[in-house]
């Protein structure tokens, strides 16, 4: 990387993680994930312990994750940790499950590990809460849509609410237009990551373009319309963002189904990124669309192996660091290109 310094002065909160055998995927994920500042606050100050669910199988993993976050926030950039407790907890919680392979010392996908970790932390801190929706006269389409979206949000999280809901979960607005009768159905779905399509091309792609291509209109050939069923016909489905979380995770689809990798580079963007173009025209949340970059997970090499590193902005120093397992170097700023894989953004 051209803007990585060979040496760095000691900086508290910028330590590395020892690679204990093909664990770069987890090391990079832990480093990038912990630089979501709201997440760091939750675990650094032990706020999480007051809402830890009783007798949840993910509790020990959550405690060990908190220990990793707390330790990394204090050690200096010339130091590193060996989180044996975290690895033991991961091995125990994945035993005899479909995620058992994540504890094996072999290459894994950082995205899969991140989703497992996020879901586990959310589960251990989730609880049943009361979500009340204020009833009012619904006169406009916008008001009706807002009411329906709140009902979906309530149904999704009332029985399993945690701090991760507001931090990492957003909502899609999905509209399906029947080509036979012209009726448009509307539904809402929650998500915890946005995905971006990467095309094979010589020119660089913007992150917004990648996400928009993932949300492109989809043609459905055998659609069962709510209005003209049981007749089936063609339909056009359009997905847009209804609501974004405080911390947005964007994953680029670099790995293909045939086992290859797409190396198209991402165009660098400035300190602020507007996501306005992703929103549904009916969304009342369009004003909350400006984000800043906190960290990136990079994948170097081919899909059949390779190596993971992380880039992250130090919370207090406002400097960027490259985390390559136990090796940490200061950077002039973030590097975006053909290795960029997972982006962590935070609302302004």
* Per-residue pLDDT tens over the stretch 282-304: 999 998 899 999 999 999 999 88
If DSSP states are collapsed to H, E and C, what string results for the chain? CCCECCCCCCCECCCEECCCCCCHHHHHHHHHHHCCHHHHHHHHCCHHHHCCCCCCCCHHHHHHHHHHHHHHCCCECCCEECCHHHHHHHHHHHCCCCCHHHHCCCCCCHHHHHHHHHHHHHHHHCECCCCCCCCCCCCCHHHHHHHHHHHHHHHHHCCCECHHHHHHCEEEEEEEEECCCCCEEEEEEEECCEEEECCCCCCCECHHHHHHHHCCCEEEEEEECCCCCCCEEEEEEEEEEEECCCEEEEEEECECCCCCECCCCECCCCCCEECHHHECCCCCCCCCCEEEEEEEEEEECCCCCCEEEEEEECCCCCCEEEEECCEEEEECCCCCCCCEEEEEEEEC
Query: How far from the centroid of its chain's Cα atoms is residue 323's Cα?
Result: 19
Other CB atoms closer than 10 Å to residue 105's CB: what's the count? 11
* Residue 6, pLDDT above cutoff 70: no
The sign of the torsion formed by the CA atoms of 217, 220, 226, 227 equals positive
Report the range of poorest mean pLDDT among 99-103, 154-158, 323-327: 99-103
For tokens 């690679």, the residue is 19
The rounded mean pLDDT for the chain is: 93
Q: Give whole-number Cα distances, 320 to 251, 265, 271, 313, in Å.
A: 21, 20, 12, 4
CB under 8 Å to 82, separation ≥6 — which residues?
17, 18, 20
pLDDT in tens, 213-234: 999 999 999 999 989 888 899 9
Most confident of 49-58, 164-173, 227-236, 316-325: 164-173
Give the whole-number percent of the chain exceeding pLDDT 70: 97
* Residue 184, pLDDT above cutoff 80: yes
* Domain residue ranges of the chain, discontinuous segments joined by +: 16-347
Indicate the CATH number of 16-347 among 3.30.70.1450, 2.10.240.10, 3.40.50.970, 3.90.70.10: 3.90.70.10
**Cα–Cα distance measured from residue 16 to residue 79, given in angstroms and rounded to the nearest whole number:** 6
Q: How confident is the model at residue 305 (pLDDT cuts 50, 70, 90)?
A: confident
- Beta-strand relationship, 290-300 and 340-347: antiparallel
Whole-number pLDDT of residue 9: 57
The pTM (predicted TM-score) of the whole model is 0.94
**Cα–Cα distance measured from residue 53 to residue 286, given in angstroms and rounded to the nearest whole number:** 34
Supply φ then ψ for residue 191, to 5 degrees. Answer: -150, 160
**Cα–Cα distance measured from residue 310 to residue 325, given in angstroms and rounded to the nearest whole number:** 9
């Amino acid at each position: 990387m051209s803007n990585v310094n060979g040496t760095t002065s000691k900086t508290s909160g910028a330590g590395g993680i020892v690679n204990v055998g093909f664990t770069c995927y987890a090391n990079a994920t832990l480093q990038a994930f912990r630089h979501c500042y709201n997440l760091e606050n939750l675990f650094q100050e032990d706020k999480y312990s007051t809402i830890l669910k009783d007798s949840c199988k993910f509790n020990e993993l959550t405690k060990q994750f908190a220990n990793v976050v707390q330790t990394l926030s204090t050690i200096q950039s010339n130091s590193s940790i060996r989180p044996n407790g975290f690895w033991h907890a991961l091995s125990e919680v994945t035993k005899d499950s479909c995620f058992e392979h994540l504890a094996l010392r072999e290459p894994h996908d950082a995205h899969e590990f991140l989703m497992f970790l996020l879901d586990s932390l959310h589960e251990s801190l989730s609880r049943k809460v009361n979500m009340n929706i204020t009833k009012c006269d619904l006169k406009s389409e916008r008001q009706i849509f807002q009411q329906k979206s709140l009902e979906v949000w309530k149904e999704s999280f009332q029985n399993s609410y945690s701090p991760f809901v507001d931090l990492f979960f957003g909502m899609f607005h999905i509209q399906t237009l029947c080509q036979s009768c012209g009726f448009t159905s509307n539904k809402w779905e929650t998500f915890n990551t946005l995905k971006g399509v990467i095309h094979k091309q010589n020119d660089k792609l913007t992150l917004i373009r990648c996400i928009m291509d993932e949300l492109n209109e989809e043609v459905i050939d055998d659609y069962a319309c709510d209005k003209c069923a049981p007749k089936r016909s063609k339909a056009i489905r359009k997905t847009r963002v209804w609501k974004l979380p405080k911390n947005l995770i964007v994953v680029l689809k670099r790995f293909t189904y045939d086992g290859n990798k797409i190396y198209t580079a991402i165009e660098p963007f400035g300190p602020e990124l507007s996501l306005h173009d992703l929103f549904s025209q009916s969304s009342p949340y369009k004003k909350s669309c400006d984000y800043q970059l906190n960290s990136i997970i990079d994948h170097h090499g081919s899909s059949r192996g390779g190596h993971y590193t992380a880039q992250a902005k130090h919370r207090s120093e406002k400097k960027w660091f490259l985390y390559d397992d136990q090796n940490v170097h200061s950077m002039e700023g973030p590097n975006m290109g053909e290795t960029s894989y997972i982006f962590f953004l935070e609302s302004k």
